[in-house]
């Protein structure tokens, strides 16, 4: 298939992976993903920006041949993770005169992970430029979105920026340009939640930087190219905002419906007070939906049954995930039911500690919740309402 020209001798040479159903062995993918690679033909030199996920290398090289790419001078590596750098060794074999242009951290990563020889790497510094003749590439180090080695490449004359994983989406397409839709927005949010949210403050910083740059196009390494940069930048402005939304997320696991009864009751009470809720069945629901809800939530209430004198292992798993995703939530509580005894919440509380949440008194009941337990849930709903009110979000 012929490479799609994006603008003025800049081509898309990446691939869709429609069959990929999970990323990082963690978050399900609703639309597969794409591994974006870009070919830039300058008047004197040719460069490729980012390469390919290793299992797709053969197909990638075949497409380069089919498109008569006979010469590559530079392979720009914006990031060392293998879904973008994995095909560098194969490209160096195909184009023996090419050299890899990258920053010191990526250089270390590709030497140790891919055995790229040192003499094939040109290490550049932050702000350095590389001429392709009529085009100039400028390298902007962007550590933290999402690896310490991440950088952006800015095509100066074309006013386009290649942002690597930042501002991407797990999404496939036939036309490389973004068709703005709720579906794309959800994919970008799911991607942000899993990959970028732990680095929210860095995302906020680079969102502002790109807004100030007034670029004409944003070209990430997953998902479509944005001809309207403000579409994705405005979404990131919203997701990275410091103030959470009027939303309570209730992830729960319930063995005999008692914990579920408590979750349903609390959710109804909160809704009646004008607070949005998102109930998440830890066993059956899609972890990506939970991650997305954590982008906005002000409060997390975990619900768990007791297993062998402690919280259910599935709840522990979700508490750990919530802690590593570092959402901006401010408040938390715990509810659950036990049969014969134990500590339902200690471990979950410990796992959530790094989030520094303001804890609302938890509620642990024996067996089915009784009238006095429902009253305590009423009180919990009222406390959450007051907390949200204190932030001016309800």
Which tokens is 112 given?
A: 């140790």
The edge-to-edge listing of strands for the beta sheet with 4-7 is: 4-7, 10-12, 38-41, 46-49, 74-76, 99-102, 121-123
Number of residues that bind ligand FEO (CB under 6 A): 9
How far is residue 233 from each of residues 40, 168, 216, measured CA to CA in Å? Answer: 24, 11, 12
- Minimum distance, C-beta of residue 329 to ligand FEO, in the bound complex (Å): 25
Nearer to ligand FEO, 139 or 147 (CB): 147
Name the residue nearer to ligand FEO (CB basis): 14 or 303. Answer: 14
133-152 positions binding ligand FEO, by CB under 6 A: 146-147
Distances (CA, A) of 219 to 49, 158, 257, 281, 394: 10, 12, 47, 36, 37
* 56: contact with ligand FEO by CB under 6 A: no
Per rule CB under 6 A, is residue 50 in the interface with ligand FEO?
no
What whole-number distance in Å separates Cα of residue 186 and Cα of residue 150? 24
Q: Binding to ligand FEO by residue 20, rule CB under 6 A?
A: no
Residues 6+ apart with CB under 8 A from 268: none
Residue pair 146/165 in contact by the 8 Å Cβ criterion:
yes
Instruction: Return the residue of 17, 149, 158, 165 that touches ligand FEO, per CB under 6 A.
Output: 165
Nearest to 304 by CA among 354, 342, 269: 342
Contact 120, 75 (CB under 8 A): no
β-partners of residue 141 are: 151
Applying the rule CB under 6 A, the residues between 277 and 336 that interact with ligand FEO are none
Q: Which stretch binds ligand FEO (CB under 6 A): 1-9, 78-86, 296-304, 340-348?
A: 78-86
Tell me which of 14, 31, 74, 81 binds ligand FEO, using CB under 6 A.
81
User: Which of 20, 41, 56, 79 is close enough to bind ligand FEO by CB under 6 A?
Assistant: 79
Q: Based on CB atoms, which residue is closest to ligand FEO, 221 or 258?
A: 221
Residues 6 or more apart whose Cβ sits within 8 Å of residue 333: 299, 301, 302, 359, 360, 361, 362, 363, 380, 384
Choose which of 221, 259, 304, 333 interacts with ligand FEO (CB under 6 A). Answer: 221
Q: Is 84 in the site for ligand FEO (CB under 6 A)?
A: yes
Min. distance of Cβ 55 from ligand FEO in angstroms?
Answer: 14
If binding is defined by CB under 6 A, does position 222 make contact with ligand FEO?
A: yes
Distance of CA 145 to the CA centre of its chain: 9
- In this chain, which residue has its C-beta nearest to ligand FEO? 81
Only one of the segments 81-89, 170-178, 199-207, 248-256 lies at the binding site for ligand FEO (rule: CB under 6 A); that segment is 81-89
Interface residue with ligand FEO among 42, 74, 83, 110 (CB under 6 A) is 83
DSSP 8-class letter at 201: H
Q: Which stretches of the chain bind ligand FEO, using CB under 6 A?
A: 79, 81, 83-84, 146-147, 165, 221-222
């Amino acid at each position: 298939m012929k490479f799609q020209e994006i603008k003025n001798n800049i081509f898309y040479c990446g691939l869709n992976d429609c069959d990929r159903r999970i990323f990082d062995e963690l978050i399900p993918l609703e639309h597969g993903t794409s591994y974006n690679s870009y070919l830039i033909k300058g008047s004197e030199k040719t460069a490729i920006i980012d390469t390919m996920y290793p299992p797709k290398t053969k197909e990638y090289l075949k497409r380069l041949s089919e498109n008569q790419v006979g010469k590559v001078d530079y392979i720009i590596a914006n990031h060392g993770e293998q879904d973008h750098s994995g095909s560098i060794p194969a490209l160096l074999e195909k184009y023996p005169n090419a050299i890899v242009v990258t920053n010191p951290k990526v250089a270390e990563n590709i030497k140790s992970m891919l055995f790229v020889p040192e003499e094939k790497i040109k290490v550049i510094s932050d702000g350095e430029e590389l001429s392709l003749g009529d085009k100039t590439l400028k390298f902007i180090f962007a550590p933290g979105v999402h690896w310490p080695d991440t950088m952006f490449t800015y095509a100066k004359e074309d006013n386009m920026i290649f942002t690597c994983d930042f501002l991407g989406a797990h999404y496939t397409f036939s036309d490389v340009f973004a068709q703005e839709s709720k579906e794309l927005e959800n994919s970008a949010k799911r991607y942000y939640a899993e990959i970028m949210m732990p680095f929210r403050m860095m995302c906020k910083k680079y969102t502002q930087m790109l807004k100030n740059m007034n670029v004409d196009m944003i070209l990430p390494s997953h998902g479509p190219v944005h001809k309207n940069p403000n579409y994705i930048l405005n979404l990131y402005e919203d997701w990275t905002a410091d103030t959470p939304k009027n939303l309570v997320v209730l992830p729960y696991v319930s063995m005999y419906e008692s914990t579920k009864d408590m979750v349903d009751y609390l959710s109804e009470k909160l809704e009646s007070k004008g607070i949005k809720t998102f109930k998440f069945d830890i066993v059956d629901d899609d972890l990506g939906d939970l991650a997305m809800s954590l982008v906005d939530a002000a409060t997390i209430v975990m619900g768990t049954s007791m297993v062998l004198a402690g919280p259910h292992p599935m709840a522990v798993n979700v508490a750990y995930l919530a802690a590593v995703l570092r959402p901006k939530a401010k408040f938390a509580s715990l509810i659950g039911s036990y049969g014969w005894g134990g500590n339902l919440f200690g471990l979950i509380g410990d796992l959530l500690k790094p989030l520094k949440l303001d804890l609302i008194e938890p509620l642990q009941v024996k067996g089915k919740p009784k009238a006095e337990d429902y009253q305590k849930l009423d009180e919990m709903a009222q406390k959450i309402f007051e907390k949200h009110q204190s932030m001016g979000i309800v």
